Amino acid sequence: MPTGKCLILVTPDAKRTMSSMLGVSAYLGASDIDYEVVENSKIFYIEGYMVTSDDNFNAVISVLEHLKEKDTIKALSLSDAGIVHGFRDKFELIESYGIDMVFCNDDEAIAFSKKETLSEAEDFYKSKTYMTIITKGSEGSVVVENGVKHFAEAEKITPVDTNGAGDMFAGSFMHAYLQGIDTAACAKFGNYASSKIVETFGPRLAPGGYAKVLNKLKKS
């Protein structure tokens, strides 16, 4: 089987659209998982795209079964509003395992909550036991936790390419969270880290860019 490929089109307003071919990655299954490594991890992060492949989805469920009664934090990215609509039953099954964090953008937040507006979606997530982190692009981000909403203002930048911003935000948020930083500050750090990606063409920073991001966390 060929490796996966992704064609990404970036428009002058810094928005991007992706055409992905999963290739052999669609066949990653339960037999490929090292459960001891997962069990010894602090966070198990589930990419929402995993629901689109039966093998991938079964691998996720097998890990969630293995993590029952374990202390590993379970985090879920909703990935795409269209996928949420198309595979809702699978997302709800994942949710039933006691997810601790849900990462999404505003469209995905609305889709998963089955609401019409972001305000209604935020109220929906206030009733949930898990923490919901909603990214809103240039409008910043919101954390809904224990029935309370925290807002983190966006960084003021000139956008170039939004590709990779969501992944950078989630990774930065979780990294800060594991340092014992409060969730509002985690969101602010995630905004800063993802803004560095948006200022750059492509989904990754140069090594010096990551060092700058980490230094920002140390100073905050």
Using CA atoms, how far apart are residues 90 and 83, in angstroms rounded to an integer?
10
Spatial CA neighbour of 190 closest among 144, 157, 141, 145: 141
The residue type at 112: F
Confidence class of residue 193 from pLDDT cuts 50, 70 and 90?
A: very high
Question: Residue 219: what pLDDT?
Answer: 79
Q: List domains and CATH numbers for the chain.
A: 28-219 (3.40.1190.20)
Please report, rounded to a whole number, the percentage of residues in the chain having pLDDT higher than 70: 100
- Which phi and psi (to 5°) does residue 76 adopt? -130, 130
Model confidence at 24, pLDDT cuts 50, 70, 90, reads: very high
| Inter-residue contact 133 to 102 (CB < 8 Å) | yes
Q: Residue 174: its pLDDT value, please?
A: 98
**Cβ atoms within 10 Å of 30's Cβ, excluding its own:** 16
- For residue range 127-152, list pLDDT tens digits in order: 999 999 999 999 999 999 999 999 99
Average pLDDT, the chain: 95
Whole-angstrom distance, CA of residue 165 vs CA of residue 193: 8
